[in-house]
Structure 1
Amino acid sequence: MSQVRNVKILGTGKYLPNKKVFSHELDELLGVKQGWVEQKSGVAMRSFIEDETASQMAAYAATEAINASGIHKEEIDCIVSVSGTMEQPIPCNAALVQQQLSLSESKIPCFDINSTCLSFVTGFDTISYLVNSGRYKNILLVSSEIASVGLNWKTKENAILFGDGAAAAILTKTPENEPSKILAGHMETISEGAHYTEIRGGGTKVHPNNSNADETDFLFDMHGKSIFKLSSRNIGAFMENLLAASNCTMEEIDLVVPHQASGMAMRILRKKLGIEEAKFMNIIHNHGNTIASSIPMALHEAIVQHKIQRGNKIMLLGTSAGLSIGGIVFEY
């Protein structure tokens, strides 16, 4: 069954906080030998917030995407936050973004889609059906992530991977006689890995009134080796399914934009899938892992760096807590 949807990314934007944190500074902070952090993470520099909120960062990225799209913000008719973290449990992130964009009077619907690091891919895939059907004309998808506040610096190998930031995209229906379209999306969840990546606190299980809660319950926890083994076992078959659904071969893909998980994870993924380096978008060295923002941020960089042109076939690809593997193939 064809999954083709005539949907176009009209414009993209991103925002990075001003505070830059270099790996050599973290070497000193963590008491490790010089060069250890960059070697382990593949990250030379990442950005951390000073006083920004997630919704403020989202608004900055969204404004850049709106400007790139050539539309007015009043022409947006739906806002979807596609983030792995939340500014607060309620209301949804997207409602706070609407407020930050001074669009309260518009009354446009706002809601969140969260599949952690894959949230942008999931949102792009899901929301495209609403655009294709004509339900909405211009949808703002925005991922805004603050990782720095939830890191456990006692688990050094996890904490050194992350950065803060936001990225946004405007989706619209493709005008006639233009090639932009989504070819296929695919996602698989293997919940055997549900507890390999987690923040246990903040929900109804480990809540503020829970006397058994420990402060580490509210910090990021990841079992990297277990995730790697589980994703390695499943990524090959996943890719076959995604390519079959999109009726493409790997050779026909002009650029792969992966989740910027870690330098090592991306290197292994690229080699395992046989993707040449020139066709593999890598921005982790000066961004870090920005959770769900990482894929749209890398896509934005590919666009502004002229690494992709209209009509190119692009694959977005990543893994997320769950454990989930997800991807989408589209003609930009």
Structure 2
Amino acid sequence: MKRKVKILGTGSYVPKRVVKAEEIDVLIGKTKGWSEKKSGVKQRFFVENETASYMASEAAKLAIKDAEISLSDLDCIVSASGTNEQAIPCNAALIQKQLGLQDSGIPCFDFNSTCLSFVTALDMMSYAIDQKRFQHVLIVSSEISSVGLNWSQHESSILFGDGACAFILTHSNESSGIIASKMETFSEGAEFSEIRGGGTKIHPRNFSEQTENDFLFDMDGRAIFKLSYKRLTEFLEGLFKQTQLSMKDMQMVIPHQASASAMKIIRKKLGVEEERFMSIIEDYGNVIAASIPLAFHEALRLGKLKRGDLVLLLGTSAGLSIGGIVLEY
């Protein structure tokens, strides 16, 4: 049964600093054009003095304006990010404070399934909204990857960018809603994408020259792609089995912006034409959990999506997890 959830407004924020592919080439000691050819990323944005909660609050303000509601109408704040501003408290509490709502009592909590965090939050919160537990929910993904990249890992570090995207969700009295959702995790791939340090296993107190790489992002992109590609067909069959729909019925497919080469292969595997497959990676890079909502936001901004359109959100994340949502916008 369709969950009655409506995307009422969206907003985005990217840092002021634009980092071109040529700058990355110099940084990692490659010839001009190498990083763009490898990653498909022409530019991305890196923070200078922005924090994740600041970026989130700026994106949230634009989403609130787009939804034509006020800050006081919010009754839940959810952070859906793969990176944390600090260990404690949760990102959502810091976002509440940035929005000037520190005395509001609005409940705040986080979802973290790395690159799938937004999809997970949208999926889980849709049940609460459908049952009218909340009236206006802010879900915001705000990611700062640039501080934790290992520049000696050339093929992974050149993919990422920083940024934030926010959605305002409400109960739908129309046809808008979530039709189906699915998530699967295959922890055989848990070591393919990780930051080992920073938690209780390798605590910050144990940081040293010997452990410093444990505190940086470590990814085997080929292994992730191989495992997720192997599982994708069966996953999608299970997702669409919940519906009377197929891939051909989707007006837009919005994938996680993992890498240009991976997205191209996946698009062909799905049999989806370029005009129905939303790609923003060349202008933003991989913005972790903010990638899918940011691509959705851009599709709306460019007029590629309209009310009533059927949309597939699809992505993978560290874990290794595969997640998808079929929704009517």
| TM bucket, shorter chain | over 0.9
Q: Please name the residue that 1:58 is paired with.
A: 56
Task: Measure the CA separation in 1 of the matches of 2:27 and 2:136.
Answer: 45
Q: Which letter maps to 2:256? A: H
Any residues of structure 2 matched to 1:168-179 within 5 Å, and which?
168-175=166-173, 178-179=174-175
Q: Per-residue deviation at 1:29?
A: 2.0
Q: Please name the residue that 1:198 is paired with.
A: 194
Q: Per-residue deviation at 1:211?
A: 6.5
Q: Please name the residue that 2:247 is paired with.
A: 250
Q: Per-residue deviation at 1:25?
A: 1.5
Task: Measure the CA separation in 2 of the matches of 1:297 and 1:122.
Answer: 15
Q: Per-residue deviation at 1:27?
A: 1.3
Task: Measure the CA separation in 2 of the matches of 1:108 and 1:270.
Answer: 40
How much identity, in percent, do the aligned residues show?
Answer: 58
Secondary structure in 1 matching 2:233? helix
Deviations along 1:212-235, one digit per CA (max 9) or x if unpaired, are 761111100001111111111100
Task: Measure the CA separation in 2 of the matches of 1:211 and 1:308.
Answer: 47
Q: Which letter maps to 1:156? A: H
Of 104, 107, 110, 1:106 maps to 104
Of 15, 18, 21, 1:20 maps to 18
Q: Please name the residue that 2:149 is paired with.
A: 151
Q: Per-residue deviation at 1:30?
A: 1.7
Q: Please name the residue that 2:238 is paired with.
A: 241
Task: Measure the CA separation in 1 of the matches of 2:33 and 2:300.
Answer: 31
Secondary structure in 1 matching 2:205? coil
Q: Please name the residue that 2:304 is paired with.
A: 307
Deviations along 1:70-108, one digit per CA (max 9) or x if unpaired, are 000110000000000000010000000000000111101
Q: Please name the residue that 1:231 is paired with.
A: 228
Task: Measure the CA separation in 1 of the matches of 2:82 and 2:66.
Answer: 25
Q: Please name the residue that 2:66 is paired with.
A: 68
Of 30, 43, 46, 1:45 maps to 43
Task: Measure the CA separation in 2 of the matches of 1:211 and 1:254.
Answer: 49
Q: Per-residue deviation at 1:32?
A: 1.2
Task: Measure the CA separation in 2 of the matches of 1:287 and 1:97.
Answer: 23
Q: Please name the residue that 2:281 is paired with.
A: 284
Deviations along 1:135-188, one digit per CA (max 9) or x if unpaired, are 10000000000000000000011100000000000000012xx21111011001
Q: Per-residue deviation at 1:247?
A: 2.6
Task: Measure the CA separation in 2 of the matches of 1:211 and 1:260.
Answer: 32
Task: Measure the CA separation in 2 of the matches of 1:80 and 1:13.
Answer: 15
Q: Which letter maps to 2:76? A: C
Secondary structure in 1 matching 2:141? strand
Q: Per-residue deviation at 1:209?
A: 2.8
- Runs of at least 5 residues in structure 2 that lack an aligned partner in the other structure: none
Q: Which letter maps to 1:326? A: G
Deviations along 1:201-256, one digit per CA (max 9) or x if unpaired, are 11110102336761111100001111111111100101111111233111100000
Task: Measure the CA separation in 2 of the matches of 1:104 and 1:140.
Answer: 15
Q: TM-score, normalised by structure 2?
A: 0.98
Q: Which letter maps to 1:306? A: G
Of 180, 184, 192, 2:180 maps to 184
Deviations along 1:49-87, one digit per CA (max 9) or x if unpaired, are 000000000000000100000000110000000000000
How many aligned residue pairs are there?
328
Structure 1 position 317 matched with structure 2 position 314: yes
Q: Which letter maps to 1:321? A: A
Q: TM-score, normalised by structure 1?
A: 0.97
Q: Which letter maps to 1:146? A: I
Task: Measure the CA separation in 2 of the matches of 1:328 and 1:135.
Answer: 21
- Runs of at least 5 residues in structure 1 that lack an aligned partner in the other structure: none
Secondary structure in 2 matching 1:106? coil
Moved more, 275-284 or 26-35: 26-35
Secondary structure in 1 matching 2:242? helix
Q: Which letter maps to 1:127? A: M
